[in-house]
Amino acid sequence: MADMVQFAKMNGLGNDILVVDMRGDAGVVTPKAAIALAANEATAFDQIMAVHDPKLQGTDAYIDILNSDGSKAQACGNGTRCVVQALSAETGKQAYTFQTVAGILNAREHADGTISVDMGAPEFHWDKIPLAEEFGDTRMIELQIGPIDDPVLHSPSAASMGNPHAIFWVENDVWSYELEKFGPLLENHPIFPERANISIARVCSDSELDLRTWERGAGLTRACGSAACAAAVSAARTNRTGRTVTVNVPGGPLTIEWLENNNHVIMTGPAQWEFSGTLDPQSGQWQADKTATHGNNK
Instruction: Mark whether 224 is an active-site residue.
Output: yes
Is the distance from CB of 165 to CB of 158 less than 8 angstroms? yes
- Catalytic-labelled residue, pool 82, 204, 224, 229: 224
- Catalytic-labelled residue, pool 76, 82, 204, 229: 76
For the chain, the DSSP string reads -PPPEEEEEEEETTEEEEEEE-TT------HHHHHHHHHSTTT--SEEEEEE--SSTT-SEEEEEEETTS-EES--HHHHHHHHHHHHHHH---EEEEEETTEEEEEEE-TTS-EEEE----B-STTTTT-SS--S-TTS-S-EES-TTS-SEE--EEEESSSEEEEEE-SS-GGGS-HHHHHHHHHT-TT-TT--EEEEEEEEETTEEEEEEEETTTEEES--HHHHHHHHHHHHHTTSS-SEEEEEETTEEEEEEE-TTT--EEEEE--EEEEEEEE-TTT--EEE-TT--S----
Q: State how far the Cα of 106 lies from the Cα of 265, in Å rounded to an integer.
A: 11
Helix H, strand E, coil C: the string for 186-207 is HHCCCCCCCCCEEEEEEEEECC
**Which residues are the active-site residues?**
76, 224
